[in-house]
Every structure is written in structure tokens, then in C-alpha cells.
Amino acid sequence: PEFEEGFAMLSQYDFSFDAQLAPEQLPAMAELASRYPEVPVCLNHVGKPRLVLGPYSNATEPDEFVLTEWKEGMKLMAAQPHVYVKLGMLGYMVPDWILDPKREAVVKDLVIETIEMFGAKRCMFELNWYLGASISDNDGLGTVGPSPVELVGYMSDWLADYSQEDREWIFAKTAESFYKFEDEKNNIIEDDENIDRDDANEDGGSSDAFSYYCHGSGAAFAF
């Protein structure tokens, strides 16, 4: 009850909620989200299906139980129009997928299926980059992972059949909209202009606030 009370308060502050949970928790999260449509929710890491090919397996066909549990939960989440999803940490689903085209194909299919469930305007590309390629991609379940540049390349190839507009939403606009980057940019510009006026009154200097935003926004989109 205390958690839900706090969750309900997010809308009072115009906050959103990032949900990181396991597939078996998706139905409960969907039910919670349905009670608070004014609280935007972003589901991390494609809903975190874990080892869909099984542990330490060379299989190329997903485990039906794992896949079904994930799909059912994701459909419940996608049915809520204020729920979004990040497309990242793909190696948690299939560790070392970059080493085998067949394993890559499984990851691609799961990404495309997610986009089809949620729509491009509720999906956002995610780097999840923090310690290095492997840990960022698979959270310790594998040995290798793509670099940020390689991951962008993979995703771009997978989205080749989507329109330019859809690709723009997935790679940038969805994150910009969900996290209100445009509002933040406008606030920073306004603050920067105020600082510039103050600096001009004092010594004619200028502020670096806007350039900081410009550099920082790349990281914001990436994560």
C-alpha cells in the first residue's frame, strides 16, 4: 500500500515511472498502471525476458514457457496507452547474440515483436551503457556485447523496413517526448538567457548552460 501511495503521487509532480521488473511481474505492473493513467510508465530492457534460449544453451529456438510468459505480460502492458518500452540490454534475453547470426535473429524478432505491440511512438532505443560492452548488454550472463556504435548499427539494420518517421521516433523522438527533453531544453534556454543578462550587466561574460544541455542530451537519449 505504501508503494502504491507513492506511485499515485508522481502525477502531482509531473513525474514518470521507470519500471524494471521480471516478466512474471508484468501483469501486476499492468494492473497498477491501469489504475493511474496519468502516470507515464516506461518499461526497461524490453521487459527483461531472461535467457529465452535457455541457460548455457546453443539452441536457436526460444523456450516456449519463457516466451509465452513474456508475451502475455507485454501485451497487458502494451494495452495501456501511457506505457512505453526501452529497447536495450538485449543480451539479457540472448547472451553473446553478436557471435551467432541465428541468435541475433532471435533478438531481432523479439525487438520487432515489441515494436509491433507498442508502436514506434512508444518504443525508444536504449544503449544502457555503463561499465562496458558485455555487462551493459547482458548484465553478466554472457562474455561479449556490442559497442554503442555497433548496437546502433544493428538496430538500424533491424528497422530497415520501417518508415523514416518510425525510425526517428524509436531513435529519438519517443525519448524526447517521454522524458520531456524539449521542456527541459526550453527551461535551460530561459535560464541561460537570464544568466547571460546578469553576466552582461556584470562583465559581459556568457553562460555555458545551453552548450552543456546540447552535450548532455546525447547521453540522455542514449540511456
pLDDT tens string 183-195: 666 666 566 566 5
Tell me which of 214 and 81 has the higher pLDDT: 81
Give all strands (DSSP E) within 144-219, no chain letters.
Answer: none
Tell me which of 219 and 167 has the higher pLDDT: 167
Task: Look at residue 33 and tell me whether its pLDDT is greater than 90.
Answer: yes
Task: Look at residue 165 and tell me whether its pLDDT is greater than 50.
Answer: yes
pLDDT digits (tens, 9 = 90+) for 114-131: 999 999 999 999 999 988
124, β-bridge pairs: 86
- Confidence class of residue 148 from pLDDT cuts 50, 70 and 90? very high
Cα maximum dimension of the chain: 69
84, β-bridge pairs: 42
Give me the mean pLDDT over the 163-189 stretch: 87
pTM of the model: 0.82
pLDDT, the chain, mean: 86
Tell me which of 186 and 213 has the higher pLDDT: 186
